[in-house]
Structure 1
Amino acid sequence: MKKTLLNISLLAAIHILATSCSDFLDKTPTEYSSVGFYQSEAAIQTGVSGVYNSLYIDMGYLCPFNVYMEHYTGMAMERAENNTIGAGGALNPDNSAVQTWWTRNYVIIARANSVIAGSAPYLDKLSGASKQYLAEAKVLRAFAYYNLISTYGDVPFFSEPVTVDQYKDERTSKVTVLDFILSQMDEAAADLPWIAQDRGRVDKAVAYGLKARAALLGGSLNYGGKSKSYFATAAAAAKMVIGQRSLAVDFDDLFTKTGQTKADVRNEMLFELMYSDQGVKKFHVIGFGQVSRNYGQTGRHPSALLADTYECIDGKRIDESPLYDPKNPGANRDPRFKSTLWMHGDTVQGNTKGTDAGRVKFVLDVFNPTTMFYNFGTSTWESKINADINSGAAWTSFANAGVGYMWRKFSDEANESISSTTCNVPLMRYAEVLLTYAEAKIELNELDNTVYEAINMVRNRSGMPNVSADRIGNQDKMRQLVRRERKVELMLEGLHFVDMRRWKIGDIENDSPSYGYPVALTKDAQGYITSGGYADATPDMVPNFKKTPRHDLNDIANYDAYKSKLKVRDANRFWNEKFNLYPIPTVERDRNPNLTQNEGY
């Protein structure tokens, strides 16, 4: 009999377990051998809990992978200049994040394979929820394989525990892996309810949603020359979910602990990483790593490319709307702008301790050494040192390492400590399914009312107008709109990391420095701005989105006409076509010489 073997890199990571707020996730199996263990519902449930626990892939500083990986695109940035693994010199086979992403997804696969294969001899006698749990394991395994093929392309493929003979296997075609994902989701869906009884479990909506997401990838990149077929599959799978779930009433509720207690939010959140302040606390520090130096440790920043993607409330892009004002660029914008971003002049509320004593409230200022803070004891505003400008760590702030914007999304918590937040993190929302359906139908040039209705539901929820009349029946204009919607609706949820590659726009997102707020031209002896900045912005300081038809289609702003007046960083940012795929980690190729490297690395 062949001795079963987990990949060495998986063995190194297999002990890393996470807990969660749900009972079913609190259980961690102590044995991953498939021999005689998974004979009962209880054993299978415990084994699948281990698969769920593997989803907590922290790419750094207790920040979930989907949030972190958005900063590997042109829509966001890490605080170190030109050091992102999305564009620039840091993307190489020895990068630790490249290795972590590979290894941790294979941990998910290994654990799922152990449960699925280990239970196979006992399927006829299994009862209760056993088949549901096994279906969940198949969905989670497919999720990991989707992550791998969307990042690395062809990858080693195993649907059972790895044997000694398989340890030197070559990479399997991404087309084969994708087709496996699609077939598995149909199989899994048959044994899943439309909405899981226990929050945090995957269900039928997730299975079909993942099928739609994966097929959209295959269609966009024309896997196996089957683009049209994959788009049709994506549309059909998304359509299965439409009507089975619904959107939350308030967009902001989706990203706060209080909001996530509401039933309508639960309905939209198809798949989420679960966190809790109960029992053994399970928390993340997303907010701490992206807010002002006045109460956090800024390390990740949104870009002006993202900020300038949001339409004005009339439904027009900022270069086309009379409502856009360079002196006050946050005014009259799609409400999701304010829900996702904070900028100069905004009032920020937060908490450093999770108690009344830890409450903070102040005005963001990108220019001056002091700003206004609210004194909760006296109910008055008072001037204090602005750590974003006047502190030893000010170099990391949204004014210096960033370009004038901060993430409000996942940061707007007034009651919990910003350094131990327990709001859940969405991995899939109903809004994504609606936009996936619309995009697939648009790519098929099947522009019917269902497409407009799907997009309108997402836009109307945030108070934006319906699809404009000039877009009806126009494939290019609809393609532009659905891509815009995916950015402004889903940013910081991990999807643009793949979307940028699906749409083949990495070059135009990353071919220029990162520009931002209008800089101060002069300051007085005390360091206060006297000219320049937003107050002196002129009407011509509006980005050019029409540098090329591709820039126009994808809403990529160009600032060349007035770049000398703007904050700039990443002067040496660059894009290479090889970045569309990540390199196979060096350590994996050392262990398995049959693993070929992606082109260019």
Structure 2
Amino acid sequence: MKKLNIYAVLLQVSLAASLFSCKDLLDKEPNDFSSGGFYKSEAAVKTGLTGVYQNLYYFPAARLPFNVMLDHWTPMATERAENTTIGAGGSLNPDNAVIIAFWTNLFGTVARANSVLSGAEPFLSTLEGKSAQYLAETRVLRAYAYYQLIANFGDVPFFTKPVTTEEYKVGRTDRAVVLDFILEDLEKAAADLPWITTERGRVDKAAALGLKARAALLGGSLNYGGKGAEYFKASAAAAKQVIGQRALAQKYDDLFTKQGQAKADVKNETLFEIMFSDQGSQQYHWIGFGQVSRNYGQTGRHPSQILVDTYECIDGKRIDESPLYNPKKPSLNRDPRFKSTIWMHGDTVQGNTTGNDNGRIKFVLEAYNPKTSFYNFNTNQWVENVNADINSGAAWTSFVNAGMGYIWKKFSNETSESVNLQTCNVPLLRYAEVLLTYAEAKIELNELDQSVYDAIDQVRVRSGMPKVSADRIGNQDKMRQLVRRERKVELIMEGLHFTDMRRWNIGDLTNAGPSYGFPIATSLDAGGNLLTGGYKDVTPDMIPNFKLSARHDLNDVPSYEAYKEKLKVRDRNRFWNDRFNLLPVPQLEIDRNPNLKQNKDY
């Protein structure tokens, strides 16, 4: 059989992986999944499942997990090169290599899962041990792949069994049909899964139902098949089953570091994750290395000003409404998740380049001057040295040149291992999301009862924020605004805003113009040297306008028009077209299968 399309492939893969807390999950799979009669034992089913899990290791950029990349295509973040967010620069086209690889990887997961499920079907009456659990896990992973496909591409080819090269040449199935299958399959899978897996890295009942809640929320928000209310009810019901079965970690920061993830409470919150390891056949990523300061990494991705300005003040009010907000010191008195997620000018950064004491680094992040203060661990003193973010051959990529004046602390705040060999796991689904999904589904149904406030309160209180304020109780619009705000600041860089942006239909608000960033320094001496720095030059009126329209206000989308000339600017050519609400079907696939049709206006 010729390899014409990824979802028509009879897979032949040889793997060897031994991951932290997950050795049995990722051992070896057979050389030929198409062997007749292979899946007639528990061991064979488990081995086949290993290959399905392995497809989670999809890196669209150098050792960068796919979900982290997704949020960098939204206005919440930027990549190193300008005009790479959705709607900018024309790179969103059917020949985009990353989009082709994304499609291919997702259908590869479907193909592997179909092979295992179909191969085991003749032996269901005789399979023993954990076979039913492993087959249920396979269903969950297939459902996850199909969720990503319909969320990003809309209607897609739909297969539940292995196909031949002739059978694959079908058209696209309505996304509502695919969604209904996902929801039914996840419910079926949940029945054969334990609430909490005993083997870290495997999906369990909480993950299956959490993914069901996520998928149904998508259908509700976009009113698939005119059944929006039905899907919102399904989302709330699935999430409700999980609520109380798991719990939040005590500290938000622990969720994104190697040391923190070893704690039992962090494991309890993390329902589904990509596993990494520094043991055996190492599996590592470069999230931190690709987003920290040029002083010890290779900056390529940056938080945006829109995200920064989404964080409330500690009083629970937005920055344009709180008396606590000081534009000269924007990180002061803010939601603690601001400092857990972002480093900015003046912050003390710590990291490690080798994983031992010799690689420790500690310095003050400086956005304006060619030198900054570094801590000497041998003398226990601070010394001034060259600031590579301003004064180096690669400074053009730094957070002040390619970026907007901010650096990701999330996934970067590692001191115990090397920033370029990170092995902290990457969450794909957390209990916090389940709580917020439940709340959003109920809010959209206008069922504003105490359970909604309790769900949001759990997430906010864990982070040190006040509970839902009295003025929001019973107000659907204010609650809708709050839950959307919470999803942004709680879940950013976990790959969810890429879909949320489409669900809420806000692309035209957030992607239609340039990206603005930190304040430009204006106080210079006669030689052109900085006397102060941009934040000292900030005036009290430099507070963004969130009320350009009711939709801007609802979705916390700021306008910087009144003082934009005082700010860093990039992505000047960014624009919006409604076609960006879906990714284009790869032209390569359309050429191979003439029955596929392209998404509108591509």
TM-score (norm 2): 0.97
| Structure 2 CA distance for aligned equivalents of residues 97 and 4 of structure 1 | 23
| Structure 2 CA distance for aligned equivalents of residues 17 and 400 of structure 1 | 41
| Structure 1 CA distance for aligned equivalents of residues 530 and 542 of structure 2 | 19
Deviations 1:27-84 (A, max 9, x none): 2332211511000000000000110011111111100000011001010011111133
Match of 2:271 in 1: 270
Note if contact 1:10-1:103 (Cα within 8 Å) is conserved in structure 2: no
| Structure 1 CA distance for aligned equivalents of residues 572 and 279 of structure 2 | 46
Cα drift, residue 7 of structure 1 = 2.8
Distance 1:281 1:549, change over 3 A: same
Deviations 1:283-336 (A, max 9, x none): 000000000000000001110000000000000000000000010000000000
Match of 2:200 in 1: 199
Note if contact 2:272-2:429 (Cα within 8 Å) is conserved in structure 1: yes
Match of 2:283 in 1: 282
Match of 2:421 in 1: 420
| Structure 1 CA distance for aligned equivalents of residues 526 and 13 of structure 2 | 57
| Structure 2 CA distance for aligned equivalents of residues 303 and 556 of structure 1 | 12
| Structure 2 CA distance for aligned equivalents of residues 30 and 525 of structure 1 | 71
Match of 1:216 in 2: 217
Note if contact 1:484-1:554 (Cα within 8 Å) is conserved in structure 2: yes
Note if contact 2:15-2:28 (Cα within 8 Å) is conserved in structure 1: no
Match of 1:225 in 2: 226
RMSD of equivalent CA atoms = 1.5
Note if contact 2:42-2:129 (Cα within 8 Å) is conserved in structure 1: yes
Partner of 1:72, secondary structure, is coil
Task: After TM superposition, list the pairs within 5 Å mapping 1:536-555 onto structure 2.
Answer: 536-555=537-556
Partner of 1:258, secondary structure, is helix
Cα drift, residue 166 of structure 1 = 1.6
Counterpart pick for 1:7 among 5, 9, 33? 5
Note if contact 2:87-2:577 (Cα within 8 Å) is conserved in structure 1: no
Match of 1:145 in 2: 146
| Structure 2 CA distance for aligned equivalents of residues 61 and 368 of structure 1 | 30
| Structure 1 CA distance for aligned equivalents of residues 240 and 598 of structure 2 | 38
Task: After TM superposition, list the pairs within 5 Å mapping 1:522-601 onto structure 2.
Answer: 522-524=523-525, 528-531=529-532, 533-601=534-602
Partner of 2:38, secondary structure, is coil
Cα drift, residue 507 of structure 1 = 1.1
Cα drift, residue 164 of structure 1 = 3.4
- AA in 1 matched with 2:440: E
Match of 2:493 in 1: 492
Partner of 2:343, secondary structure, is strand
- AA in 2 matched with 1:57: Y
Distance 1:406 1:17, change over 3 A: farther
Deviations 1:107-159 (A, max 9, x none): 11110000000000000000100000000000000000000000000000000
Match of 2:94 in 1: 93
Note if contact 2:86-2:511 (Cα within 8 Å) is conserved in structure 1: no
Match of 2:178 in 1: 177
Partner of 2:26, secondary structure, is helix
| Structure 2 CA distance for aligned equivalents of residues 244 and 527 of structure 1 | 61
Task: After TM superposition, list the pairs within 5 Å mapping 1:273-422 onto structure 2.
Answer: 273-422=274-423
Cα drift, residue 527 of structure 1 = 6.3
| Structure 2 CA distance for aligned equivalents of residues 555 and 26 of structure 1 | 46
Match of 1:35 in 2: 36
Cα drift, residue 530 of structure 1 = 1.5
Deviations 1:6-35 (A, max 9, x none): 835775996485733322212233221151
Note if contact 1:34-1:115 (Cα within 8 Å) is conserved in structure 2: no
Deviations 1:523-572 (A, max 9, x none): 34776421551012111000000011111000011100011111111111
Distance 1:346 1:531, change over 3 A: closer
Note if contact 1:298-1:396 (Cα within 8 Å) is conserved in structure 2: yes
| Structure 2 CA distance for aligned equivalents of residues 336 and 167 of structure 1 | 46
- AA in 2 matched with 1:110: A
| Structure 2 CA distance for aligned equivalents of residues 4 and 569 of structure 1 | 46
- AA in 2 matched with 1:484: R
Partner of 1:58, secondary structure, is coil
- AA in 1 matched with 2:57: Y
| Structure 2 CA distance for aligned equivalents of residues 476 and 305 of structure 1 | 21
Unaligned runs of 5+ in 2: none
Cα drift, residue 514 of structure 1 = 0.7
Distance 1:518 1:18, change over 3 A: farther
Note if contact 1:435-1:454 (Cα within 8 Å) is conserved in structure 2: yes
| Structure 2 CA distance for aligned equivalents of residues 121 and 11 of structure 1 | 21
Task: After TM superposition, list the pairs within 5 Å mapping 1:501-512 onto structure 2.
Answer: 501-512=502-513
Deviations 1:196-255 (A, max 9, x none): 110000000011001000000000000000000000000000000000000000000000
Note if contact 2:8-2:163 (Cα within 8 Å) is conserved in structure 1: no
Note if contact 1:29-1:49 (Cα within 8 Å) is conserved in structure 2: no
Note if contact 2:351-2:362 (Cα within 8 Å) is conserved in structure 1: yes
Deviations 1:351-375 (A, max 9, x none): 1111111110000000000000000
Structure 1 range deviating more: 116-125 or 78-87:
78-87
Partner of 1:361, secondary structure, is strand
Distance 1:290 1:527, change over 3 A: farther
Match of 2:450 in 1: 449
Cα drift, residue 85 of structure 1 = 4.5
Cα drift, residue 190 of structure 1 = 0.5
Partner of 1:289, secondary structure, is coil
Task: After TM superposition, list the pairs within 5 Å mapping 1:20-59 onto structure 2.
Answer: 20-21=19-20, 22-23=22-23, 24-33=25-34, 35-59=36-60
Distance 1:525 1:369, change over 3 A: farther
Note if contact 2:276-2:283 (Cα within 8 Å) is conserved in structure 1: yes
Cα drift, residue 87 of structure 1 = 3.9
| Structure 2 CA distance for aligned equivalents of residues 382 and 466 of structure 1 | 43
| Structure 1 CA distance for aligned equivalents of residues 538 and 6 of structure 2 | 57
| Structure 1 CA distance for aligned equivalents of residues 16 and 598 of structure 2 | 32
| Structure 2 CA distance for aligned equivalents of residues 54 and 526 of structure 1 | 56
Match of 2:120 in 1: 119
| Structure 2 CA distance for aligned equivalents of residues 117 and 354 of structure 1 | 45
Note if contact 1:4-1:163 (Cα within 8 Å) is conserved in structure 2: no
Partner of 1:26, secondary structure, is coil
| Structure 1 CA distance for aligned equivalents of residues 213 and 6 of structure 2 | 33
| Structure 1 CA distance for aligned equivalents of residues 148 and 14 of structure 2 | 19
| Structure 2 CA distance for aligned equivalents of residues 390 and 68 of structure 1 | 28
Cα drift, residue 183 of structure 1 = 0.2
| Structure 2 CA distance for aligned equivalents of residues 13 and 123 of structure 1 | 22
Q: Which runs of 4+ in 1 moved over 6 A?
A: 3-6
| Structure 1 CA distance for aligned equivalents of residues 100 and 10 of structure 2 | 12
Distance 1:11 1:4, change over 3 A: closer
Match of 2:438 in 1: 437
| Structure 2 CA distance for aligned equivalents of residues 178 and 526 of structure 1 | 64
Distance 1:390 1:286, change over 3 A: same
Cα drift, residue 465 of structure 1 = 0.2
Match of 1:103 in 2: 104
Cα drift, residue 521 of structure 1 = 1.1
TM-score (norm 1): 0.98
| Structure 2 CA distance for aligned equivalents of residues 584 and 449 of structure 1 | 43
Unaligned runs of 5+ in 1: none
Partner of 1:384, secondary structure, is strand
Match of 1:162 in 2: 163
- AA in 2 matched with 1:380: Q
Match of 2:75 in 1: 74
Instruction: State percent identity of aligned pairs.
Output: 67
